[in-house]
Structure 1
Amino acid sequence: MDKVLLQKDGNVAIITINNPKALNALSTEVLQDLEAAVLDVKNDKDIYAVIVTGAGEKSFVAGADIAEMKDKTVEEAAEYGRFGNKVFRDIETLEKPVIAAINGFALGGGNELAMACDIRLAAENAVFGQPEVGLGITPGFGGTQRLARLIPVGLAKEIIYTGRNIKAPKALEIGLVNALYPLEELMPAALKMAKGIAKNAPLAVAASKKAINEGLNQTIDGGIATEVAEFSGCFATEDQKYGMDCFLNKVKEKQFSNK
């Protein structure tokens, strides 16, 4: 994987988009490497949380590769869109929680990648936007769908229709990101959060993610049924018995087995 780096720090995986000369733009090669990295993390039972970030200090992901897209036919564009969406859905549905550490520009496909993650932490210099209409296209990697689910629909439409960028404080104000940090503090904060998540029972975290994601597309009654199924399923795990024993015996330092 030349365009994506995968590092592991204990039970945390760090996926870095490594195309800084192009501001980490999402070429087909980058998407293919990202797909491979996500598959690696998915299959690694010792990884309990994931961080996605961009190389350098300017850009998380500045968008898709416009030079590569420019001359695509309708059929080629559809294939490209389906592939990008497939990779982002792999991230969104990954059993392990994913934190986006947004270290600069998150435009177009970059904002779409961030939105596919569970939690978004951003540097104070980060800039967000969906500028596609200024290029004669729509967002193509889930932007029209996820943005309107994350923030008020009217704001999502304004951002997409105008193509204007928004700065980090505005992104925090409207709920697009969870928190802001000075650039030098961003990765330490993301790593601290990821390691905090990884200390909890991995199967319970995965079940919580599934219940939230599936429940968002159901009625409240359907969502509650999903939650009850995930909740009760935890009682078949060793981690449930261990976690409750630790609580009753006042054991603070726990080591879940992921079983």
Structure 2
Amino acid sequence: MTDSNILIHTHYTKDKNIIILTLNRPMQLNAINFQLLEELRQGLDEISKIPDLGALVIRSNHLKAFCTGVDVEYIRSLTNKMASDFFSKLAETLEKIIHFPCPTIASIDGYAFGAGADIAVACDIRVGNESASFRFPGPQFGLLLGTQRLMSEVGPSVVRHLALTNQVVTAEKALHYGLLHEIAENESAFEGALKYTEMTANISERTYRLLKEISDGVNRLEPNQTTPSEYARKSVEQGDFAARFSTYISQITSNKKRRV
């Protein structure tokens, strides 16, 4: 179904299945609205039930952008309660990727901004091309999404810098910070990601599960500690989210006009 926001196919089958999940909303640079989020959630659930999973690769069908974050017009149409429900579901979806039952690899072309950056960071391995770039604007309008995962991947000092400045992080800086594991200089990010699926193919499901338990255990939530989904919900529900979001969008639009 080419009109679907999510495309799923098996790239390679031998002893294990390598599954490719492609974000397929090219005209909007894969900006996430309700439909894309629901299809992504359903797609992840369907893939998780496939036997003999070797790896899941998440990629974009557009060389300019992996995912530019949430759909601005869609978010502007939501009440505070609707927005908190949406971002809570989005946080739960990131957790699905983090705890997926097989190695996950993000193939990052171009922009990985906001929730798009969070999707990439949720994956075990991240391969980008030379034009790959990251940005984490959520705190600028009072949203905490994917922050705990980002903290465990790059550390508190880098997280504070990224969250407080809203700077665009180039591929080279992303590699330095740990947002990327490799820059595919002489090939596409997707080709680079596929090489990693070959490396992970021989890892048993039990070994992978134990590895995840060890690595996740470093940052495991204590009893009664706030979950990522609750952080997202509470950050949206506090005050007038719609006003904060609109103010932020107006500011960046104004800044773009001044630079032209």
Instruction: Tell me which interval the TM-score lies in, with the shorter structure as reference length.
Output: 0.7 to 0.9
Q: Is the alpha carbon distance of 1:208 and 1:61 closer, same or farther for their aligned partners in structure 2, counting shifts above 3 Å?
A: same
Q: Is the alpha carbon distance of 1:215 and 1:45 closer, same or farther for their aligned partners in structure 2, counting shifts above 3 Å?
A: farther
Q: Is the alpha carbon distance of 1:69 and 1:183 closer, same or farther for their aligned partners in structure 2, counting shifts above 3 Å?
A: farther
Aligned to 1:156: 159
Output the amino acid matched with 1:164: Q
SS state at 1:48 partner: strand
Output the amino acid matched with 2:188: E
1:175 to 175, 178, 184: 178
- How far the C-alpha of 1:208 sits from its partner, in A, is 1.6
SS state at 1:217 partner: coil
TM-score, normalised to structure 1, is 0.78
Which has the larger Rg?
1
Task: Describe how 1:81-230 pairs up with structure 2 within 5 A.
Answer: 81-134=87-140, 136-139=141-144, 141-142=145-146, 144-182=147-185, 184-217=187-220
Are the counterparts in 1 of residues 128 and 182 from structure 2 also a CA contact under 8 Å? yes
Alpha-carbon distance in structure 2 between the residues aligned to 1:173 and 1:86: 28
Identity of aligned residues (%): 26
User: Deviation above 4 Å: which 4+ runs of structure 1?
Assistant: none
Output the amino acid matched with 2:6: V
Residue 59 (1) aligns with residue 65 (2): yes
- How far the C-alpha of 1:133 sits from its partner, in A, is 4.6
TM-score, normalised to structure 2, is 0.78
Structure 2 gaps of 5+ residues are 223-260
Alpha-carbon distance in structure 2 between the residues aligned to 1:51 and 1:180: 16
Map Cα deviations across residues 93-124 of structure 1 (whole Å, 9 max, x no partner). Answer: 11111011111100000111111111111111
Q: Is the alpha carbon distance of 1:154 and 1:212 closer, same or farther for their aligned partners in structure 2, counting shifts above 3 Å?
A: closer
Are the counterparts in 2 of residues 60 and 105 from structure 1 also a CA contact under 8 Å? yes
Alpha-carbon distance in structure 2 between the residues aligned to 1:67 and 1:78: 16
Aligned to 2:47: 41
Query: Relative CO higher for 1 or 2, CA cutoff 8 Å, sep ≥ 6?
Result: 2
Aligned to 1:4: 6
How many residue pairs get matched?
A: 216
SS state at 1:166 partner: coil
Map Cα deviations across residues 189-227 of structure 1 (whole Å, 9 max, x no partner). Answer: 2112112211232322222223321343279xxxxxxxx
Alpha-carbon distance in structure 1 between the residues aligned to 2:148 and 2:208: 25
CA RMSD in angstroms, aligned pairs only: 1.8
- How far the C-alpha of 1:75 sits from its partner, in A, is 1.0
Q: Is the alpha carbon distance of 1:82 and 1:133 closer, same or farther for their aligned partners in structure 2, counting shifts above 3 Å?
A: closer
Alpha-carbon distance in structure 2 between the residues aligned to 1:87 and 1:132: 17
- How far the C-alpha of 1:7 sits from its partner, in A, is 1.1
Alpha-carbon distance in structure 2 between the residues aligned to 1:92 and 1:8: 21
Output the amino acid matched with 1:213: D
Output the amino acid matched with 2:200: I
- How far the C-alpha of 1:183 sits from its partner, in A, is 7.5
- How far the C-alpha of 1:57 sits from its partner, in A, is 0.6
The range that moved more, 115-124 or 199-208, is 199-208
Are the counterparts in 2 of residues 127 and 165 from structure 1 also a CA contact under 8 Å? yes
Structure 1 gaps of 5+ residues are 220-259
